[in-house]
């Protein structure tokens, strides 16, 4: 009898824990929202503030997040495939194994983000900020990186930076400035 009672209590406790982490996928997009494992493909979330949200395992394929704030989100294995995230901020976000395949991310900020094993295959990161980001095993195959600020916060990826950051040429010290047109 005692063993059966313990099993019933353990089963009840596990059920309670499972319901606490379940996301309400219809919740309003606000800071700290729990969208864990939600399928929100095709969503329009331009300019939304999702600071600290739980996006683990969620899917936002073909969604629009232009100028959105996604700072400090938990985004392990989140999918932003073919999404538009231009000018979005992911400062300090945990994006381990996140999928940004073919995403439009020009001008986005990943400052201090953990992008371990993230996938940016054919993504557009032109003008993005990767200052202080963790890029271990990150996939940049065929990714546009021109104008992106690299992890050191100083290197800017030059023209032709596709798949890897080729530093832009810096003016040589003491070089004469190009002549300017005289006005009349």
- 106-151: pLDDT as tens digits: 999 999 999 999 999 999 999 999 999 999 999 999 999 999 999 9
Cα-based distances in Å from 75 to 54, 116, 122, 170, 176: 7, 11, 20, 36, 48
Beta bridge partners of 129: 109, 149
Q: Which CATH number fits domain 28-142: 1.25.40.10, 2.160.10.10, 2.160.20.80, 3.20.20.70?
A: 2.160.20.80
pLDDT in tens, 18-43: 334 456 899 999 999 999 999 999 99
pTM: 0.81
What confidence category does residue 2 fall into, taking pLDDT thresholds of 50, 70 and 90?
very low
Number of H helices, E strands in the chain: 1, 0
DSSP assignment string, 66-133: TT-B-TT-B-TT-B-TT-B-TT-B-TT-B-TT-B-TT-B-TT-B-TT-B-TT-B-TT-B-TT-B-TT-
Question: Domain coordinates of the chain in residue numbers?
Answer: 28-142
- pLDDT for the residue numbered 40: 97
Question: Is the model more confident about 49 or about 180?
Answer: 49
């Amino acid at each position: 009898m005692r063993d059966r009672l313990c099993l019933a209590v353990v089963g009840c406790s596990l059920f309670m824990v499972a319901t606490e982490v379940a996301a309400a996928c219809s919740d309003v997009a606000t800071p700290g929202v729990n969208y864990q494992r939600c399928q929100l493909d095709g969503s329009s979330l331009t300019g939304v503030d999702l600071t600290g949200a739980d996006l683990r395992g969620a899917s936002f394929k073909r969604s629009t997040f232009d100028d959105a704030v996604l700072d400090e989100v938990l985004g392990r294995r989140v999918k932003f495939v073919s999404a538009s995230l231009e000018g979005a901020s992911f400062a300090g976000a945990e994006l381990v194994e996140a999928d940004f395949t073919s995403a439009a991310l020009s001008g986005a900020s990943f400052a201090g983000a953990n992008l371990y094993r993230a996938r940016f295959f054919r993504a557009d990161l032109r003008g993005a900020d990767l200052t202080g980001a963790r890029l271990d095993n990150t996939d940049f195959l065929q990714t546009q990186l021109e104008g992106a600020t690299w992890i050191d916060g100083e290197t800017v990826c030059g023209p032709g930076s596709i798949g890897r950051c080729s530093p832009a040429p810096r003016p040589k010290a003491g070089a004469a400035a190009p002549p300017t047109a005289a006005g009349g």
